[in-house]
Structures are given as structure tokens and as C-alpha cells.
Structure 1
Amino acid sequence: MPSDDLPRSPTGRVPQWVADQAAGQAADPQGWRGYETEPPPPPRRRRSLLSRLGVVAVVAALGWWVSTAVLPGLLREVDAPVLDGIIAGRVPDPTPEVAALAAEMFLTDEGRDLLYMSEPELLGAAEFAGRCDRGDGAVGQTGGAVGCYHSTAGGLETGGRIVIYQPADPRLHGFVVETAAHELLHAAWNELTPDERTAAGPLLEAVVAGIDPADDLHTQLAGSVGTYPENRPTELFAYLGSQVWQPGGFDPALEAMYARFIADREALVAVHTAFEQQIDTMSAEVTAAHEALNQRRYDQQLATAQFEADTAALAQYRTTIEEEEARLAGLSASERARSLLSWTWRDGTPLPEAPAAELIADARALLARDEAELAARSAALQVSAGEVAAEEARVAALRTELEALFAQLNPG
């Protein structure tokens, strides 16, 4: 094998025993720890898949001990290479999108490895359809599933795959991060030992028991568990780990389990909180706009009703003036000269007793003033009616946009 084709670890190093074998030298068990330029990294717990594949690959290639009493421990302490196309300890290279997602989830090295080995698929609504249906081994689903962890078991295929629904609108990216973290924690739950899972159960139940019964988390949890009560522990681990933070964290033993995979769980939960606040803010903005619109509608209706009432009242005053003018016209000149009138105008303006012709002239002036004011009000009402109509269209568009955004949260 040419030197540049030697199997390499995820860190890019070539274990000494691989170099020796390629040079025709006998494999030296101590070569597992032989690094020429730098010491090995701290041991990290590998998925059971790695140990099994590592044993098969090494036994087939090197003819080492048939017994597996020693090899699993060695494989966990070193970066095992790829042999004959079989992955033994190598974490698949993530896509840039998945690598960015890992950073946003605040994962530890072990958490990143687990995420990358689960080879997450980020799918649009059409591609996601049917990928998380019940009955196909997926975990982390509801009737409106947005992600799932497909676990497999048996032979060399112990492991799992993560499928995540990714809405098209970038404003919902926090939702994608939260979903990915939830599904990763399903995979992480499988990484815990049976004893760890047994110990975690009561601790998780104690946390959820202290959460407000009105909190949406209870509804989400019930929907995800559904008719599969055996899934409750892993769902608790995923929901609480990605959505709930308490000052100082949970029980130290439980936080230690999370800490293997998540470097900053408080920051991860903050992603969920920020997304919820974003949705709440958008909803509040639409609600406030709708309430303000209702007030404008009310004000417009009130102003229109007042305008119509004032118009009708002014029409009655105009009729009275015209009737007095007609009456005076039917009088003789001497009778008109002796005719006196007094009046209080519609707005309370007094018209003291005076010859009828003079008083009617003063009333005509007030009538002209009020008619001009009504004309200005009519023009203003037409403008405000147009503004209300425009606001109605804007608020309707905001509501439609928000509903469309919310609809993207459900790929079905």
C-alpha cells in the first residue's frame, strides 16, 4: 500500500502498527499506542458499532487474538483506521450544513461524533413525507412528526440514523436546531449503559413532575410517546435535555449524562427559548396590529356616525332657515320690518332677538360655516376610510404570512 494511502484516524494520524504492517514488519501490540509526533487524545467512548466493526476488521487483517477480551478496550483508546472499506472508529465527514448544526447545538466531541455517525438528513416537506411514520422503528415522533431517530440493532449494524424536517423559511432555523438536538439525545440515550438509563428514569420523572401542568411540554411528550409507553424514558431525556433548564441544572448525575454529549446545555435550551420567544413576538405583533385595526375601525365608524348625525341636524336647520325665508317673503314690507326673531344655533351659539331678516342672515352665515366644516370632515373621513382599508389589507397579509409560517412547522 503506498504511504499516502495508509488508513488514517479521524485526526489524520497513522497508527504505528499500520505503518509497520505496510512496511512488512510484524504487528506489535504495543504499536497501538505508538505515535511518532504527538500523544494520543484522551479516550472517548465509541458507539458499540465501532467496537464491533473494529474487532472484525482487526482480527481479519492482523490475525490477532480471537478473543475479544482485550481488543474492545484497545479500540476505545486509539483512533482505529479503515480496513478493507470497513469503518472502525472513523466518524463520517459531515456536510457543511451538519457541521454548522453541530456548532449551534453546543456539542462535545463525543456528541459531534454521535451526530456525524447518525448521518443526519435535513429534508424539505416533500422529501420528509413518510420518513418518520410509526411502525418503522423510528423514535421521536408524533402525529405531526418533525424528526425521528431510526435505531437499528443486530449484527454489525447497531447504530441509528437521524431524519430532520427543515422548513423552507430561514426564520424557523431555531426550530431545526431544536429538532436536531432532540433527535441526537435519542441517540445519546442509546449510548448510556442499562444502569445509567435505569438511574436516569426517576431523575427525569422528578423534573417533569415539577413543570407547570399547563406547559406545552406535557402535550408534546404525550404526543411523542403515544401508545408506546416504553418510549417515555427516551422522550423525557430528549425533551428535557433540549427544552428545559433550571438554575444550577438538573440532578448532577443527570447533568453528567448530558454533559457527555452537550458542552453547554443551558445555551442549547436557550435556542429553544429564543425560538419560542420569536414565535410569541411575531404572534404578539399580529395580535397588536389586529387590535389597533379594530380600534381604528371603531373610531372610523364612530366618526362616520357622528358625521351623518351632524349632517342630518344641519339639514334641519337649513330647512328651518328656508321656511323662515319663505314666510318673510310672504309678508308685506311693514310686516317684515316689524318681524323679530331670536334663535340658539345648533352648537349653542345664541342669536339674540333681532329683525328677522338680520337674524336669518346671521343664521345663514353659521349654516355656511357648518357646511364647510362638514365638507372638510367628509374629505377626512374618506381619507381615513382608505387608510383603514389599507391597514385591513396589511394586517390580513401579516396574519396570512404568520399562518403560512406556522403551517411550515408541520410538514404534513
Structure 2
Amino acid sequence: MSGRPAARLRPIIVTILACALVAATVGAVMNRQLISDHIAAAGFEAPSPVLELQQSLHLTDDGTRIFLASHPTLDGSQHFNTQCAELLQGVTAHVLGCYVDDRIHLFNVVDPRVAGIVQVTAAHELLHAAYARMRPGDRSVLAEKLRKLYKERSQADPDLAKRMEMYSNLSDTAFAGELHSILGSEMEDLPEWLEEHYAQWFEDRSSITATYRAYQGVFQGLKNDSNSLRERMRVLRVDVEKRKADYDIAIEAYDADAAELEQQLNAPKRSKSRATIESEREKQRDLEERRTELKETLKGLQDDIDHYNEQRAALQQLGELSTELEQQLDSALAPVTTRPTE
């Protein structure tokens, strides 16, 4: 009789153990990515520049794990183009990073005038990695919410609509993925639900968007300065052309009056009355005043023409500076080997 309770308990214990094993198995499957990331991150010996980049992103523990698990590379050579070759095909815009085969690759832009561009790109690609790790159902729900938010925002924000134009040929799923990275790394004032979503990976997302705004301000500033200079040049050119036309008419009138007076002065004096002589002197004084005014007008025109040429030279310099900065972002122009500072 003493063995019967133990016998009855044995199936229960077996059942409990089986359930525990099943639960453990299910948990392992569900957390397979998490376990894999822990192992990948722990086994990654990040170079100092990558560690400095990671620290500058102000990541949470989850964000740090995903970033390091993606074994990010930071390269300013043509090797970056090899790493991101799949993404570069048929793309006309500058590609500064990619997330390919579970790896993050970043183009190392070192020009201090666009400082921070690597950080923003890294945040963008990290969000691709995080998006890829979401459960399919959760990702589908989020994608729908992102597309709805974009539809609302883009109507009031033409800059956002223009930013997303290059992704217009993507599928809804891929478009939502790009939107997820762009909103998270570039846009401020997002809905609370989305801020909470991004807070999984960023302790201070505002530092990323502020950095984006700062380096974008460099390009926007150049564009604004160029547009403003072109408008001032247009106004000055119209003014100079009108004044030059008036000057030409005044010169013709002056030459005609001067020739007429010269003819009168060359007539024999004995045939002239005192009134005629006084009239001629008055005409001489008038012509001298007009001559002085015309000289001043010509000087003013020349000064403004010189100023216009100075503005044209300044506009050319702005264009060269803009081109120079754009070239810094063009990985196709990168050196064959890594820069010495990298």
C-alpha cells in the first residue's frame, strides 16, 4: 500500500516535467534571436571607432546588444561599396549605410562640416536591424500604423513627402521599414506611442534628431544662401539694365545737344546778339552739369556691375562648396584603401 501514492504521483511528475520541457523549448524558440544576439554581441571585438560611435548614440541595453550583434563596420574606402553593393544598384542618392545579411555597414564621412552624419546613419541602420527582429505580427501592426501616420504627416509636411519619394517604388512592407528608420532617426515631435516604441533602443533619441538637424542645416544654409544671392543678383541685374538703357538715351541726347551747341559756337560772333551769347553760355553750363551727372551715373553703373560680378563669384564659391560637401558623401569617390585616420 505504501508504494501506491508514489505510483500515482509518477505520471503527474512526468506530465509536469514534460510541460516544463515544452515551455522551455517554446521559450528558447521565441527568444532564439535574443540568445543569438547575446552570443553575437559578446563575441564581437568592436574597433575603437565603432565603440565610440556606439557610445555617441545613447543606446539602451537592447539597442547596444542589437548594434553590436550586427557587427557594424565603419569604412571610408571603396570596400564600403562592395559591402552595400546590393543596395547601391540603381540608386541615385548617396548611400551612407546599409543593413545587409544581418550586418550594419557605414560609410565613414570624416569632414567636420557635416559632423554627426555617421551617427544618424548608424541610428537609421540600427532601426532596420530592430525592425527585422520584430515578430511578424507585431511588425505588420506597426507597419500599418506607420503608413497611416505618414499619410497624415506628409500632407502637412512636404519635406517628409519629398524625403520618402525615393522609396515610392517599394512594396508597402519595405516602405514601412524605411519609414520606421527615417522617422526614428530624423523626425521630432512624434506621437507618444511611437516615442515609446523607439525608447526600446534609444535613451535620448532627441540627440540623434538634433544632430540630423544640425548637419542638414549646413546643406540647407548653402541652398538658402545661394537662392538669396541669386534673387539679389536678379534684382540688381534688372535695375542695372534699366539704368543702362536710360543712360544710353541720356548720352544720345547729350551728344545731340553738344553737337548743336558746338555748331552755334562756331558761328561768327558778329552775327550773335548779347542774348544769343548768354543763351549759349547757359547751354554750356547745362551741358557741363549733365556731363558730370552722366559721369556719376556711369560710375554708379560700373560699381554695381562690379558688385554683380562679385556676387556671381560668391555664388560660384557656394556652388563649389556645396559640390565639395556632396562629394564627401559620395562613396563612389572614396579612396581604394581606407583613410589613414580610420
Q: TM-score, normalised by structure 2?
A: 0.73
Match status 1:368 vs 2:311: no
Which of 324, 327, 340 aligns to 2:264? It is: 324
Secondary structure at 1:296 match in 2: helix
Residue matched to 2:6: none
Give the deviation of 1:290 after TM superposition.
1.4
Match status 1:111 vs 2:63: yes
1:4-153 aligned at under 5 Å gives the runs 48=32, 51-52=35-36, 90=42, 92-124=44-76, 126-134=78-86, 142=91, 144=93, 145-151=95-101
One-letter identity of the residue aligned with 1:299: D
* Contact residue 71 and residue 104 of structure 2 kept, 8 A: yes
Who wins on radius of gyration, i.e. which is larger? 1
Alpha-carbon distance in structure 1 between the residues aligned to 2:231 and 2:257: 39
Which of 276, 279, 299 aligns to 1:356? It is: 276
One-letter identity of the residue aligned with 2:67: L
Alpha-carbon distance in structure 2 between the residues aligned to 1:96 and 1:290: 45
Residue matched to 2:188: 245
Give the deviation of 1:149 after TM superposition.
0.5
* Contact residue 318 and residue 367 of structure 1 kept, 8 A: yes
> Structure 2: which 5+ runs fail to align?
1-30, 333-342
Alpha-carbon distance in structure 2 between the residues aligned to 1:169 and 1:88: 32
Alpha-carbon distance in structure 1 between the residues aligned to 2:239 and 2:48: 55
Compared CA separation, residues 164 and 287, structure 1 to 2 (3 A): same
Which of 316, 321, 326 aligns to 1:396? It is: 316
* Contact residue 225 and residue 231 of structure 1 kept, 8 A: no
* Contact residue 186 and residue 212 of structure 2 kept, 8 A: yes
Secondary structure at 2:62 match in 1: helix
* Contact residue 207 and residue 250 of structure 1 kept, 8 A: no
Compared CA separation, residues 257 and 389, structure 1 to 2 (3 A): closer
Match status 1:260 vs 2:200: yes
Compared CA separation, residues 277 and 364, structure 1 to 2 (3 A): same
Residue matched to 2:5: none
Give the deviation of 1:88 after TM superposition.
6.9
Compared CA separation, residues 150 and 391, structure 1 to 2 (3 A): same
Alpha-carbon distance in structure 1 between the residues aligned to 2:34 and 2:177: 22
Residue matched to 1:30: none
Range with greater deviation from structure 2 (311-320 or 197-206): 197-206
Give the deviation of 1:99 after TM superposition.
3.3
Aligned-pair identity (%): 24
Alpha-carbon distance in structure 1 between the residues aligned to 2:298 and 2:196: 72
One-letter identity of the residue aligned with 1:182: H
Q: Which has the higher contact order (CA 8 A, sep 6+)?
A: 2
* Contact residue 142 and residue 224 of structure 1 kept, 8 A: no
* Contact residue 120 and residue 161 of structure 1 kept, 8 A: yes
Give the deviation of 1:220 after TM superposition.
4.8
Compared CA separation, residues 183 and 193, structure 1 to 2 (3 A): same
Give the deviation of 1:186 after TM superposition.
1.0
Range with greater deviation from structure 2 (111-120 or 318-327): 111-120
Secondary structure at 2:287 match in 1: helix
Alpha-carbon distance in structure 2 between the residues aligned to 1:285 and 1:372: 38
One-letter identity of the residue aligned with 1:186: H
* Contact residue 149 and residue 161 of structure 1 kept, 8 A: yes
Give the deviation of 1:371 after TM superposition.
2.0
Give the deviation of 1:386 after TM superposition.
2.5
Residue matched to 1:269: 209
One-letter identity of the residue aligned with 1:164: L
Match status 1:210 vs 2:148: no
Compared CA separation, residues 88 and 162, structure 1 to 2 (3 A): closer
Secondary structure at 2:153 match in 1: coil
Alpha-carbon distance in structure 2 between the residues aligned to 1:219 and 1:383: 42
Secondary structure at 1:182 match in 2: helix
Residue matched to 1:282: 222
Alpha-carbon distance in structure 1 between the residues aligned to 2:253 and 2:61: 82
Q: TM-score, normalised by structure 1?
A: 0.62
One-letter identity of the residue aligned with 2:115: H
Give the deviation of 1:284 after TM superposition.
0.7
Which of 236, 239, 249 aligns to 1:296? It is: 236
* Contact residue 244 and residue 269 of structure 1 kept, 8 A: yes
Compared CA separation, residues 146 and 310, structure 1 to 2 (3 A): same
Alpha-carbon distance in structure 2 between the residues aligned to 1:88 and 1:132: 21
